[in-house]
Amino acid sequence: MFSPDDLRALGEGATPTPPGGTVSLGARRAALRTGDHAALLYWDHAELLEHIVPYLAAGIAAGDKVVYVADDTSVERITDALCDAGIAVPAEIARGHLVITTAHDAFFGGGRFDVERSLAAVRGLADEARAQGFARVRFSVEMTYLLADVPGIEAGREFEARANSEIFACYPFTCICSFNADRAITGDIIADVLATHPILISSGVPLVNPRYHAK
């Protein structure tokens, strides 16, 4: 199983992401770019919230459509953390600026995971955001959904890989996929996470991921 030291070692072999249109990760933090699909491995919920909450809050401030898909963390905990950061969560949800949902509701319609349906749903989110007047979607998904005991979940890696060419290369999206490395049953799960994400966030810094395998 990967450890924090393994991730640091991996980061040491990577290089910073090249300059471009920036997507803030929060005050005094490095930035992603529109179109980036990044992986963030964490070992406890406090570590996740430390990185994700500023990214989401910066999206609200920037006028992005902000969408969070919870799985390992409860919707209530994410909501409370955003409120603590000064975000008027009920108001932002009411005006369509913020969506907080679960992996079950986002991906497991009909009790199974379907790649084509999931890709279509994310494309539909982009179309909806455009119709609402948002220039960009700031997306974040807790990838422990890959551990769900549902039919079809073995195609989760395919979904993540195809999203690079079919979603993030075509629509104004930026996505951080987080994964609780402490819950990985085998190293293969984390290897899959790293293989499908061009960007790795290590110690809050976006790096070109040397483990990424372009399809």
What is the pLDDT, as a whole number, of residue 19? 43
What is the pLDDT, as a whole number, of residue 91? 98
The CA-atom distances, in angstroms, between 165 and each of 168, 174, 215 are: 6, 13, 8
Residue ranges of the chain with pLDDT lower than 70?
1-21, 185-187, 215
Going by C-alpha positions, the residue among 210, 207, 182, 213 that lies closest to residue 195 is 213
Q: How far apart are CA 42 and CA 4, in angstroms?
A: 8
**DSSP state, 153?**
G
What is the pLDDT, as a whole number, of residue 18? 45
Q: What residue ranges define each of the domains in the chain, with the CATH number in brackets? A: 4-12+31-206 (3.40.50.300)
The tally of CA atoms less than 13 A away on the side-chain side of residue 26 is 14
Sheet strands side by side (includes 15-16):
15-16, 205-208, 199-202, 37-42, 173-180, 137-142, 65-70, 98-102
pLDDT in tens, 135-165: 999 999 999 999 999 999 999 999 999 999 9
What is the pLDDT, as a whole number, of residue 5? 60
What is the pTM assigned to this prediction? Answer: 0.89
